[in-house]
Amino acid sequence: MNDIQYAFINEFGHYGFDFDQPETSTHFIIVSILVKGSDKGFLEQEVERIKRKHLQKREIDDSLRLEILHDLKDLPFKVYAYVIDKRKIREDSGVTYEKTFIKFFNRKIFDDLFRTFDTLDLVADDQGSKEFMQEFIAYVKRKCIPDLFNYSTFGFNDNESEILLELAELIAETIAKGYDVKHYSKQYPSFYKLLKNKIITINLWPHDYKHYLYDYHYEKTDSETDQIIIKQAVNLAYQYIEKHRNSEEEDDRVRIDLLKFLLFNLKENPDDYVYTEEILDNLNAIRINKIKQHYFRSNIVSKLRDHGLLIASSNKGYKLPVCLNDLYDFVNLSSLTIHPMIQRVSKCRDQILLATNKEIDILEKAEYEYLKRMIEMEKIASMSGE
């Protein structure tokens, strides 16, 4: 079982919706700390050492949190999280009742984890008043049937690790510093910088493009066109995720994971492209069969664009577009490939026409008509000096 993937799950926040009460958080956050079985013992040992180093007598303020995250940043674990903005859940949805909220998001989180991970050994903190975790454990055990040896490839198998559950709690509290209004810290960008390479994705609920518009335009004044672009990019991404979320095809699952990663990057760094290598590191962190660059470009990104999704690219990598310039980046990068290729086809065609006294035209087939017209239009434009 050394290669099994563990998920140590903990929560942050309050289930209620009376935001006038000081204890009621604006967000509810679930964090899974993912670690391979072969790394579990080492991670426990190192987190315990960091705990003894920093948490003997001190409360965790922003300064100490930075020190702890700095010590954690090179350890072998990943973060897979959910951030639920309770303020954006409609009052008439029925989900604003505590019991309904717990049941609704138990199902949502289970469905997402089950679709994302083929095998996962779950460990959760269900002590004290953590009703959400108690209900989640019960729900998963009902859904996942153990095998003849009383082991479930996806589910709870009575494994324990108090120190890694504490790590999940710490990360959940840290993420809250960037999202929850009542716990927000100006130091969150520094926290995020140290956590960035650990985060596989942060799933934001509800799925609402305005979530991104609000944050993106916080310190900017953008044109109406840019707002249309970001709205379309986000909505198309969510539509694809919803349409293909039950697909058994591995490529569909990779595409969904890519879109989740790009959505998360849009939330945290709307102007930044992400290098292909960083994206692949993220996607491969939860996969046995690693994805290669060529396959990623031709079978994942290209197919998403074939479905009409908006994905900008440049020599700096990929992102969801937030403005017209992002789309120009994509057009410019594409033109660097498309135009030379058309010219090469044109030169090849001219050579064969010349050698055969125009008897053979390699573009005469019907399926090449559009290419033939493009080449001839370019020649006309060239002759006219345009």
Taking only the tens of pLDDT, the chain with its 386 residues reads 447 889 999 999 998 888 999 899 999 999 999 999 999 999 999 999 999 999 876 789 999 999 999 999 999 999 999 999 998 887 767 788 888 999 999 999 999 998 888 888 999 977 767 889 999 999 998 888 665 445 567 788 778 899 999 999 999 999 999 999 999 999 999 999 999 999 999 998 887 766 665 455 444 545 788 888 999 999 999 999 999 988 989 999 999 999 999 999 998 889 999 999 999 999 999 888 899 999 999 999 999 999 999 999 999 999 999 999 999 999 888 888 888 888 888 899 889 988 898 899 999 998 889 888 888 887 776 665 54
φ, ψ of residue 350 in degrees (nearest 5): -60, -40
Structure tokens belonging to residue 51: 């705990």
Nearest to 311 by CA among 267, 254, 268, 255: 255
Measured in whole angstroms, the distance separating CA 146 from the mean position of its chain's CA atoms is 30
Nearest to 47 by CA among 200, 161, 191: 161
Q: What per-residue confidence (pLDDT) applies to 148?
A: 47
Q: Where are the domains of the chain?
A: 5-206, 228-322, 339-383
Structure tokens belonging to residue 159: 């494994």
Tell which phi-psi region holds residue 344, choosing left (phi > 0), alpha (psi between -120 and 50) or beta: alpha
Nearest to 105 by CA among 143, 139, 152: 139
Helix (H, G, I), strand (E, B) or coil at 97: coil
CA distances for 378 relative to 343, 346, 351, 352, angstroms:
9, 10, 17, 19
In sequence order, what E strands does the chain have? 5-12, 27-36, 78-85, 120-124, 154-156, 199-205, 312-314, 317-319
Give the Cα separation of 356 and 125 in Å (integer).
Answer: 78
Residue linked to tokens 């090849």: 348
What are residue 27's DSSP bridge partners? 85
Residue linked to tokens 């009052």: 91
Nearest to 117 by CA among 257, 239, 244: 257
Q: What per-residue confidence (pLDDT) applies to 55?
A: 82
What are residue 313's DSSP bridge partners? 318
5-206 maps to CATH 3.30.420: yes
Q: What per-residue confidence (pLDDT) applies to 212?
A: 63
pTM, full prediction = 0.80
Q: What per-residue confidence (pLDDT) applies to 153?
A: 75
Residue linked to tokens 């973060």: 79
φ, ψ of residue 83 in degrees (nearest 5): -120, 115
Q: What per-residue confidence (pLDDT) applies to 191?
A: 97
**Other CB atoms within 10 Å distance of the CB of residue 379:** 12
Question: How many C-alpha atoms does 304 have within 13 Å on its Cβ side?
Answer: 29
